[in-house]
Structure 1
Amino acid sequence: MHLTRFRFNTHRPGARKLLSSSQALHAAVMGGFPDLLPSTSPSNDPLTGLLAVNGAENGTSGAGPGKPRVLWRVDRNAKAEVFLYVVSPDRPELTHLVEQAGWPQAEADSGWQTHDYAGFLSRLETGQTWAFRLTANPVHSIRRKDGEETKPTAHVTPRHQARWLLKKQEQCGFEVLRGRNPDPAMPEVDGYELLVHDRNSAGFDKPDPRPGRKGKRMRVPVVTATFDGRLTVTDPDALRRALSSGIGRAKAYGCGLMTLAPVS
């Protein structure tokens, strides 16, 4: 596993274009992994069958549930300080991102930094305390009327979004710490060291597949929220799976990547 950080040059039109479209940025991220790029002539590739058998078929961004996959997240720390983080089984090659959205002429700097992540994951132990950040797509399944199939529906308030994450704690191998300064605006999660911010519901457009709508586009809503807080490790194996395979839905659109940092 690898953890990569890339800094956007927000003065460049290419960077602004990527940051305005989760679809375009997803394609750019996946472009850093040659083995995951779609093949134009798979029938001529003698390895196609072998790759499919081993779960690495072209065009996929990861394996099955709970398996390591390519995850990414954008952190907007300031107007001119925007970072892309990528967790991946393979080491990425991001020259195309540097040329489009970085500083191609900068000396002594490749434009991105990739570090061994497997070693860090192997050192996780029960009882450790870490600061964390997660951008996620907090949803729940509801049935609007009897007999109807359940449908995923986004949580839109900070209170319900925080509650969504707290319900994930046990299965993901951590507990969010309780603090001393409860937020009166979030009574259901009073006392937890958890901040919900950068809430967004922009989504993206895609071709409309419905009959009679050829050539039209439809809006696909993707509600996201970023969570900052502190946690204690309760199940290292479960937390390792969560960190390498993602938490929640919409992973292709910049959701699900949790990162840890030492508590200051």
Structure 2
Amino acid sequence: MHLSKLVLNPRRRDVWRDLRSPYDLHRTLAHAFPTEPGINYRAQHGVLFRLEPMTTPNAMPTVLVQSASPPEWSCLPEGYCLQQQSAPYDPTFAAGQSLVFRLVANPTKKQKINGREQGKRVALHDLPDPDAADPDTPTPARLWLTRKAEQHGFRVVYTLTDGFWLGEPNGDGARGKPQLPHYGVRYDGLLQVTNPDTLTKALTTGIGPAKAFGFGLLSVARPQ
């Protein structure tokens, strides 16, 4: 795999367009991964990306991109990036290992109608469930992460969460349909590896839906 860090130029109009619309950012990144017409570049090149949080007044817009193929960042619009860093990425894990992690995900579940799951998904918010009998019950978004961790080879030791809406409604969606904002949760915390092979696959393929909108990229590092 390859891991890239892009610092975007905040003086460019197309950068601000992409910051407002995750799908536009997705389309801009496609320039760095040449693909035959009609082929999904993200699926062919194993691309996952996310916009990093801008936590200080002087923070620059930064995008983290992971890909199976080496990117060609010179194919992005001239002046779009202020800095580009890319390096091979081939992590290995051991059962029981502790790692700090960040995951920006789109926690959802399929809506049930008459007891059956339908295609439409509903957001699982990082807010207490008003119907929970125990007020200390984890939020639906935290319960979602616990389930996904079990499926993807790790256990969450602890996590901090930050829920947000990503994107703005506009008329530039596919076939003229409006793009709707996506609900996201940023998870930062500590995990413990339970199945190294399964965790490696989760890093490669991502976790949860809406990956074309900048969700699903799991980043891990050894604790300092």
TM superposition score normalised by structure 2: 0.83
Residue of structure 2 aligned with 1:165, choices 145, 161, 178: 145
Contact in 1 for aligned 2:20/2:167 (Cα 8 Å): no
Cα distance, 1:31–1:152 mapped onto 2, change above 3 Å: same
2:80 maps to: 101
Contact in 2 for aligned 1:202/1:223 (Cα 8 Å): no
Question: Partner amino acid for 1:90?
Answer: S
Mapped to 2, the partners of 1:132 and 1:59 lie a distance apart of 28
Mapped to 2, the partners of 1:73 and 1:2 lie a distance apart of 14
Cα distance, 1:127–1:133 mapped onto 2, change above 3 Å: same
Contact in 1 for aligned 2:99/2:222 (Cα 8 Å): yes
2:222 maps to: 262
Q: Secondary structure of the equivalent of 2:118? A: coil
Which whole-Å deviations, capped at 9, do the CAs of 1:60-118 have from their partners, x for residues lacking one? 4215xxxx721011102334332111111101011244724223xxxxxxx31111112
Mapped to 1, the partners of 2:53 and 2:102 lie a distance apart of 12
Mapped to 2, the partners of 1:151 and 1:17 lie a distance apart of 27
Q: Secondary structure of the equivalent of 1:156? A: coil
Q: Is residue 2:84 matched to residue 1:115?
A: no
Q: Is residue 2:66 matched to residue 1:87?
A: yes
1:144 maps to: 113
Cα distance, 1:203–1:256 mapped onto 2, change above 3 Å: farther
Q: Is residue 2:40 matched to residue 1:59?
A: yes
1:135 maps to: 104
TM superposition score normalised by structure 1: 0.72
The Cα shift of 1:201 comes to: 4.9
- Larger strand proportion, structure 1 or 2? 2
Cα distance, 1:162–1:146 mapped onto 2, change above 3 Å: closer
The Cα shift of 1:38 comes to: 2.3
Residue of structure 1 aligned with 2:211, choices 213, 226, 251: 251
**Over aligned residue pairs, what C-alpha RMSD do you find?**
2.5
Question: Partner amino acid for 2:65?
Answer: V
Q: Which runs of 4+ in 1 moved over 4 A?
A: 206-209
Which whole-Å deviations, capped at 9, do the CAs of 1:29-83 have from their partners, x for residues lacking one? 121011x2526xxxxxxxxxxxxxxxxxx334215xxxx7210111023343321
Question: Partner amino acid for 1:139?
Answer: T
1:232 maps to: 192
Structure number with greater Rg is 1
1:71 maps to: 48
The Cα shift of 1:28 comes to: 1.1
Q: Is residue 2:151 matched to residue 1:174?
A: no
